[in-house]
Amino acid sequence: MGAAGNRANSGELVSVVIAAFNCASTIDGAVRSCLDQTCGNTEVIVVNDGSNDGTRDVLARFGSDICVIDQANGGLAAARDMGQRAARGEFVAWMDGDDLAQPERLQAQIAALRAVPEADLACSNFSAFRDPAEDFDPSHIEAYYGTLRRVGGLSAVFPNERIISINGSGNALSVRWGWVYDAMLAGNFVHPPTVLLRRSLFERSGGFDCTLRYSSDYDFLLRTSRMTPFAYVDSALLRYRRHDLQMSRAAGSGKLQLETVRVLEKARRADAALDGRRGDDLRRFSAEALLSAAYALARTNRIEGLRLVRAARSHRFLPAASLRAIARLAVPNAAIDAAKWLREKIRAVIAAPVVFGSEEFESLFAVASAATCLFAA
């Protein structure tokens, strides 16, 4: 049991699974935030996914307060899957090794599932920070997940609402819920480190697809959204750390987008009625993902980028994004670099005390800015 075991016992055991890879500078805070939960009956499981930066030494300081599982580096899916299978709790919460859980996170999410017993998974809003001393965005979910704008927002995705309080504290929490499967086909909007689910749902799902190194969470959530409604706590129960080393950089290499296409193909095979019901949407979503990957590959692998454009056309959709991808593939990297250089030089001159203000100069700046916005990777 974690140190939080000294608090009032919440009844059912809650397992927190933290996937950790090379996060020696942040893992202490992440673990402590899980041990300091107001929900007392918890176990904290940290899967050390082949770290080589001292993460294991930091974890050793917690002794028997946590359970540490060491494994060779296999990626986030393999780490989460290992921790989930080792969990003993009726409820299992996911965490990453660089985020911070709010003290009431587990208690609030368990209360949400009790208030909506038909739901087997709860997620929440989250704040974002770079400096742990202060959040730069207290409500980050809609800024982070553009999919929500495509599907009509949180109220459309989770149309039902109930107001609850935890432990009679009088602090009201909005719990929304609904069947989100159709909306999730357009892309993920459930932040994985905010997930708490019944262990029985994981067992019914078959676990993570560990062949998906970047999109295993989306695949798991899409599959389970066919099995159960999802509950959403409209409160920032997690503080999400934004930094340059996050795995979300995979989008810049096209890998994330290509795995998204695989996830959608899996969904089509698993749901025989889906193609007839949402076939056009699926083809459009796949084409957009392929074109996004092509654009990302323009700097490093133009031949593969052009192949992906052709693959996007095979889905019988050629959205406006195709023009942007084709243009980027056609323009030499040297021209893009020159446009970036010119834009920065012009910005520096404009910022100087001497203001030129000629129409020609302003036009040149506009052209350079537009070119960079259109083509810069």
Domain boundary among 197, 212, 245: 245
Tokens 């074109």: give the residue.
291
So what's the pLDDT on residue 168?
61
Is the domain of 256 the same as that of 352? no
Residue 246 has what pLDDT? Answer: 55
Q: Say yes or no: 236 and 348 in one domain.
A: no
176 and 128 housed in the same domain: yes
Residue 320 is predicted with a pLDDT of: 63
Nearest CA-CA partner of 59 in 104, 24, 84, 106: 24
273/228 same-domain check: no
Q: Are residues 268 and 189 in the same domain?
A: no
CATH of the domain at 148: 3.90.550.10
Tell me which of 330, 348, 363 is where a domain ends: 330
Specify whether 80 is located in the same domain as 157: yes
Residue ending a domain, among 245, 260, 282, is: 245
Domain that holds residue 368: 333-375
User: Rounded to an integer, what distance in angstroms lies between the CA atom of residue 94 and that of residue 45?
Assistant: 10
204 and 126 assigned to the same domain: yes
Q: How many domains does the chain have?
A: 3
Cα 34 to its chain centre, rounded Å, is 20
How far apart, in Å, do the first and last CA atoms of the chain sit?
Answer: 48
Based on the domain organization, do 128 and 197 belong to the same domain? yes
Same domain? For 44 and 78 the reply is: yes
Is residue 370 within a helix (H) or strand (E), and if so which, with residue range? Answer: helix 359-375
**Considering the entire predicted model, what is its pTM?**
0.84
pLDDT truncated to tens, each residue of the chain (377 aa)? Answer: 444 333 434 468 999 999 999 999 999 999 999 999 998 899 999 999 999 999 999 999 999 999 999 999 999 999 999 999 999 999 999 999 999 999 999 999 999 999 999 999 999 999 999 999 999 999 999 999 999 999 999 999 999 999 998 876 667 899 999 999 999 999 999 999 999 999 999 999 999 999 999 999 999 999 999 999 999 999 999 999 997 655 555 667 788 999 999 999 999 999 999 999 999 999 989 988 998 888 888 878 888 888 888 888 887 766 666 666 777 777 777 777 787 788 777 777 666 554 444 444 444 444 454 455 554 44
In the block, residue with structure tokens 């693959």: 311
Residue 345: partners with Cβ closer than 8 Å, 6 or more residues away: none
**H, E, C per residue of 305-327:** HHHHHHHHHCCCCCCCHHHHHHH
196 and 287 both lie in a single domain: no
114 and 76 together in one domain? yes
For residue 274, give Cα distances in angstroms to 237, 268, 313. 34, 6, 21
The pLDDT, as a whole number, for residue 310 is 83
- Regarding whether 233 and 101 lie in a shared domain, the answer is yes
pLDDT at residue 303, rounded to an integer: 86
Three-state secondary-structure class, residue 193:
helix
